[in-house]
Amino acid sequence: MLLEHDTLCVADLHFEKASFLQMNGHVPLPTYDTRDSLTRLARIIADYRPKRVVALGDSFHDIDADQRFSETDAALLNAIVEGVKEFIWILGNHDPDIPDCVKGHREDHAQIGGFLMTHLPHEAEDLGVNLCGHYHPKLRVRTKGGKISGPCFAVSAARIILPSFGTFTGGLNVDTDDFRAALPNAMRYHMIRGDKIYRFDGAH
Protein backbone atom coordinates (compact mmCIF):
# COMPACT_ATOMS: atom_id res chain seq x y z
CA MET A 1 0.00 0.00 0.00
CA LEU A 2 1.51 3.34 -1.07
CA LEU A 3 0.01 5.48 1.65
CA GLU A 4 1.00 8.85 0.22
CA HIS A 5 -0.79 8.05 -3.03
CA ASP A 6 -3.59 5.92 -1.56
CA THR A 7 -2.64 3.10 -3.93
CA LEU A 8 -2.76 -0.66 -3.46
CA CYS A 9 -0.53 -2.81 -5.68
CA VAL A 10 -0.89 -6.52 -6.33
CA ALA A 11 1.05 -8.72 -8.74
CA ASP A 12 0.55 -11.96 -10.63
CA LEU A 13 -3.06 -12.84 -9.89
CA HIS A 14 -3.05 -15.49 -12.65
CA PHE A 15 -6.82 -15.84 -12.80
CA GLU A 16 -7.95 -19.21 -14.23
CA LYS A 17 -4.56 -20.90 -14.02
CA ALA A 18 -6.06 -24.11 -12.65
CA SER A 19 -8.65 -24.30 -15.41
CA PHE A 20 -5.92 -23.69 -18.01
CA LEU A 21 -3.84 -26.58 -16.68
CA GLN A 22 -6.92 -28.75 -16.43
CA MET A 23 -7.89 -28.03 -20.02
CA ASN A 24 -4.45 -28.05 -21.65
CA GLY A 25 -2.42 -30.34 -19.43
CA HIS A 26 -5.20 -32.71 -18.45
CA VAL A 27 -4.26 -32.12 -14.81
CA PRO A 28 -7.10 -33.07 -12.43
CA LEU A 29 -7.13 -29.85 -10.37
CA PRO A 30 -10.00 -28.14 -8.55
CA THR A 31 -10.73 -24.83 -10.26
CA TYR A 32 -11.47 -22.62 -7.28
CA ASP A 33 -8.31 -20.49 -7.47
CA THR A 34 -9.94 -17.53 -9.23
CA ARG A 35 -12.76 -17.25 -6.69
CA ASP A 36 -10.31 -17.47 -3.79
CA SER A 37 -8.00 -14.81 -5.29
CA LEU A 38 -10.97 -12.51 -5.93
CA THR A 39 -12.30 -13.01 -2.42
CA ARG A 40 -8.95 -12.17 -0.85
CA LEU A 41 -8.53 -9.14 -3.11
CA ALA A 42 -11.98 -7.85 -2.20
CA ARG A 43 -11.19 -8.34 1.50
CA ILE A 44 -7.90 -6.42 1.31
CA ILE A 45 -9.53 -3.56 -0.59
CA ALA A 46 -12.29 -3.42 2.03
CA ASP A 47 -9.68 -3.33 4.81
CA TYR A 48 -7.42 -0.64 3.30
CA ARG A 49 -9.97 1.31 1.21
CA PRO A 50 -7.51 2.55 -1.45
CA LYS A 51 -8.60 5.05 -4.05
CA ARG A 52 -6.47 3.31 -6.67
CA VAL A 53 -5.51 -0.33 -7.33
CA VAL A 54 -2.69 -1.30 -9.69
CA ALA A 55 -2.41 -4.93 -10.83
CA LEU A 56 1.18 -5.44 -11.97
CA GLY A 57 0.64 -7.83 -14.85
CA ASP A 58 -0.12 -11.52 -15.35
CA SER A 59 -3.50 -10.91 -13.78
CA PHE A 60 -4.95 -13.43 -16.24
CA HIS A 61 -3.10 -16.67 -16.82
CA ASP A 62 -3.78 -16.57 -20.58
CA ILE A 63 -5.60 -14.40 -23.10
CA ASP A 64 -8.62 -16.73 -23.15
CA ALA A 65 -9.03 -16.84 -19.37
CA ASP A 66 -12.21 -14.78 -19.49
CA GLN A 67 -13.90 -17.51 -21.52
CA ARG A 68 -13.51 -19.85 -18.55
CA PHE A 69 -14.69 -17.33 -15.94
CA SER A 70 -17.95 -18.21 -14.29
CA GLU A 71 -20.62 -15.50 -14.47
CA THR A 72 -20.35 -15.11 -10.71
CA ASP A 73 -16.59 -14.58 -10.80
CA ALA A 74 -16.84 -12.15 -13.72
CA ALA A 75 -19.45 -10.11 -11.86
CA LEU A 76 -17.35 -10.14 -8.68
CA LEU A 77 -14.26 -8.98 -10.57
CA ASN A 78 -16.04 -6.03 -12.16
CA ALA A 79 -17.66 -5.13 -8.85
CA ILE A 80 -14.18 -4.99 -7.30
CA VAL A 81 -12.90 -2.80 -10.14
CA GLU A 82 -15.87 -0.44 -9.95
CA GLY A 83 -15.55 -0.24 -6.17
CA VAL A 84 -12.41 1.89 -6.35
CA LYS A 85 -11.89 5.28 -7.96
CA GLU A 86 -9.24 3.97 -10.37
CA PHE A 87 -8.19 0.44 -11.30
CA ILE A 88 -5.15 -0.03 -13.57
CA TRP A 89 -4.25 -3.28 -15.29
CA ILE A 90 -0.56 -3.38 -16.20
CA LEU A 91 -0.07 -5.71 -19.17
CA GLY A 92 2.09 -8.78 -18.56
CA ASN A 93 3.64 -11.59 -20.56
CA HIS A 94 0.70 -13.89 -19.79
CA ASP A 95 -1.90 -11.20 -20.50
CA PRO A 96 -0.65 -8.84 -23.21
CA ASP A 97 -4.29 -7.90 -23.63
CA ILE A 98 -7.00 -7.64 -20.98
CA PRO A 99 -10.42 -9.12 -21.90
CA ASP A 100 -12.90 -6.54 -23.17
CA CYS A 101 -15.50 -7.61 -20.62
CA VAL A 102 -13.24 -6.52 -17.75
CA LYS A 103 -13.53 -2.93 -16.58
CA GLY A 104 -10.57 -0.71 -15.68
CA HIS A 105 -7.69 0.99 -17.49
CA ARG A 106 -5.05 -0.90 -19.49
CA GLU A 107 -1.47 0.36 -19.39
CA ASP A 108 2.00 -0.87 -20.30
CA HIS A 109 3.28 0.82 -17.14
CA ALA A 110 2.20 3.43 -14.63
CA GLN A 111 4.14 6.30 -13.05
CA ILE A 112 2.77 7.27 -9.65
CA GLY A 113 4.84 9.71 -7.64
CA GLY A 114 8.35 8.31 -7.24
CA PHE A 115 7.36 4.82 -8.36
CA LEU A 116 7.50 3.23 -11.81
CA MET A 117 5.08 0.30 -11.93
CA THR A 118 5.75 -2.44 -14.47
CA HIS A 119 5.36 -6.18 -14.86
CA LEU A 120 8.94 -7.02 -15.81
CA PRO A 121 11.85 -5.25 -14.09
CA HIS A 122 12.69 -1.89 -15.65
CA GLU A 123 16.20 -0.41 -15.52
CA ALA A 124 15.42 3.32 -15.79
CA GLU A 125 16.24 4.35 -12.23
CA ASP A 126 15.71 8.04 -13.06
CA LEU A 127 11.98 7.25 -13.31
CA GLY A 128 11.78 6.23 -9.67
CA VAL A 129 11.74 3.04 -7.63
CA ASN A 130 10.58 0.19 -9.85
CA LEU A 131 7.64 -1.82 -8.50
CA CYS A 132 7.24 -5.02 -10.50
CA GLY A 133 6.12 -8.63 -10.37
CA HIS A 134 6.78 -11.56 -12.70
CA TYR A 135 9.24 -13.48 -10.49
CA HIS A 136 6.90 -14.64 -7.69
CA PRO A 137 9.68 -14.24 -5.07
CA LYS A 138 9.86 -16.80 -2.28
CA LEU A 139 12.29 -16.85 0.64
CA ARG A 140 13.62 -19.88 2.49
CA VAL A 141 15.37 -19.32 5.82
CA ARG A 142 16.84 -21.59 8.46
CA THR A 143 15.50 -21.29 12.01
CA LYS A 144 16.10 -23.13 15.26
CA GLY A 145 13.20 -25.39 14.43
CA GLY A 146 14.33 -26.12 10.87
CA LYS A 147 13.56 -24.31 7.62
CA ILE A 148 10.61 -22.08 6.81
CA SER A 149 9.64 -20.59 3.47
CA GLY A 150 7.02 -18.31 2.08
CA PRO A 151 6.29 -15.63 -0.52
CA CYS A 152 8.11 -12.38 0.07
CA PHE A 153 8.64 -8.81 -1.01
CA ALA A 154 12.23 -8.48 -2.28
CA VAL A 155 13.59 -4.97 -1.81
CA SER A 156 16.62 -3.04 -3.04
CA ALA A 157 17.26 0.70 -3.28
CA ALA A 158 16.03 0.81 -6.87
CA ARG A 159 13.47 -2.00 -7.07
CA ILE A 160 10.75 -3.81 -5.16
CA ILE A 161 9.60 -7.15 -6.54
CA LEU A 162 6.17 -8.08 -5.22
CA PRO A 163 5.14 -11.64 -4.35
CA SER A 164 2.46 -13.27 -6.45
CA PHE A 165 -1.03 -12.67 -5.10
CA GLY A 166 -2.76 -15.48 -6.96
CA THR A 167 -3.90 -18.51 -5.03
CA PHE A 168 -2.32 -21.08 -7.33
CA THR A 169 0.93 -19.45 -8.45
CA GLY A 170 3.92 -20.90 -6.61
CA GLY A 171 7.18 -19.00 -6.24
CA LEU A 172 10.81 -18.62 -7.28
CA ASN A 173 13.42 -18.86 -4.54
CA VAL A 174 15.36 -15.62 -4.20
CA ASP A 175 18.67 -17.50 -4.08
CA THR A 176 18.36 -18.75 -7.69
CA ASP A 177 20.51 -17.28 -10.47
CA ASP A 178 17.45 -15.93 -12.31
CA PHE A 179 16.33 -14.01 -9.29
CA ARG A 180 19.81 -12.72 -8.49
CA ALA A 181 19.94 -11.23 -11.98
CA ALA A 182 16.63 -9.43 -11.43
CA LEU A 183 17.61 -8.06 -8.01
CA PRO A 184 21.41 -8.22 -7.65
CA ASN A 185 21.66 -5.98 -4.58
CA ALA A 186 18.84 -7.04 -2.31
CA MET A 187 18.71 -5.13 0.97
CA ARG A 188 15.89 -6.93 2.72
CA TYR A 189 13.04 -9.38 2.34
CA HIS A 190 9.60 -9.33 3.90
CA MET A 191 8.23 -12.86 4.15
CA ILE A 192 4.51 -13.46 4.41
CA ARG A 193 3.51 -16.20 6.84
CA GLY A 194 -0.21 -16.39 7.47
CA ASP A 195 -1.38 -12.95 8.57
CA LYS A 196 2.10 -11.78 9.63
CA ILE A 197 5.11 -10.36 7.78
CA TYR A 198 8.69 -11.05 8.89
CA ARG A 199 11.68 -8.96 7.84
CA PHE A 200 15.05 -10.46 6.95
CA ASP A 201 18.03 -8.26 6.15
CA GLY A 202 21.08 -8.87 4.01
CA ALA A 203 21.96 -9.71 0.42
CA HIS A 204 21.07 -13.16 -0.87
First to last CA, the chain: 25
Percent of the chain topping pLDDT 90: 70
For the segment 57-80, the average pLDDT, to the nearest whole number, is: 95
- Confidence band of 202 (pLDDT split at 50, 70, 90): low
Residue 27 has pLDDT above 80, yes or no: no
- Confidence band of 75 (pLDDT split at 50, 70, 90): very high
Q: What is the CA radius of gyration of the chain?
A: 17
Pairwise CA distance, residues 41 & 22, whole Å: 24
Residue 144 has pLDDT above 60, yes or no: yes
145 burial level (CB within 10 Å; 0-12, 13-18, 19+): exposed
So what's the pLDDT on residue 3?
Answer: 59
So what's the pLDDT on residue 2?
Answer: 66
Q: What is the pTM of this model?
A: 0.92
- Confidence band of 70 (pLDDT split at 50, 70, 90): very high
3-201 folds as Purple Acid Phosphatase; chain A, domain 2 (3.60.21)
The domain ranges of the chain are 3-201
Phi and psi dihedrals of 118, rounded to 5? -140, 175
Average pLDDT, the chain: 91
For the segment 139-164, the average pLDDT, to the nearest whole number, is: 90
Residue 203 has pLDDT above 60, yes or no: no
